[in-house]
Structure 1
Amino acid sequence: MAPLTETFHPARLQQHVQSLPDGKARKPPVDLKQCQLKELVQYECDLDGPGDDRKSRVICKPILRLFRQCAGGLTVETTSWEGIHDERSEAT
């Protein structure tokens, strides 16, 4: 069984990536906005109709996932975070 993963609001992602998995501070600190933006498209597929009917079709919908790839090999999924950091900085 996989270990439990902490959940947090996407607005806290920048703060959250400053710590290594063992709890120590990441040095040097990471600025996610400076990391290269990458995309990945995954597909969610469902069967439209009964499984034993030859006329049933598989319907797939694309799901776009966004990542930031930083120096030192850190890659972070930022799908929910993208846009939030801009809104937050404008409100401040």
Structure 2
Amino acid sequence: MPPLVEAFPASDLARRINHLPSGKSRKPAVSDLTKCDLKELIQYNCDVDGPKEDPRSKVVCRPVLRLFRQCANGMTVETTAWEGKYDR
């Protein structure tokens, strides 16, 4: 299981990306997250519509869009909650 990572508000993302979970500084530092390439990933959230025991029940899946920024140093960070708060 991966180590726990502290939760923080999306508004702190640009400030916190230059610190690793261990507390060490990221090298090289990312000076402007908005200059990193924007990537999209679509995942699906599926639920059974109706009782599980009923053979007529259907599985309904809805798309969930996730946004990421991928920087030149190889760092990739999810920015779904952060996007839209700043001009790109």
TM-score (norm 1): 0.84
SS in 2 for 1:14: helix
Q: Secondary structure at the match of 2:28?
A: coil
Consecutive unaligned residues of structure 2, counting only runs of 5 or more, are none
Sequence identity, in percent? 59
Count of aligned residue pairs for this structure pair = 86
The equivalent residue for 1:47 is 48
Moved over 3 A (4+): none
Displacement, 1:36?
0.2
Higher helix share: 1
Describe the SS at the equivalent of 2:63.
strand
| Structure 1: gaps spanning 5 or more residues | 87-92
Quote the offset at 1:4 in angstroms. 2.1
Cα drift, residue 28 of structure 1: 3.0
So what's the TM-score if we normalise by structure 2?
0.87
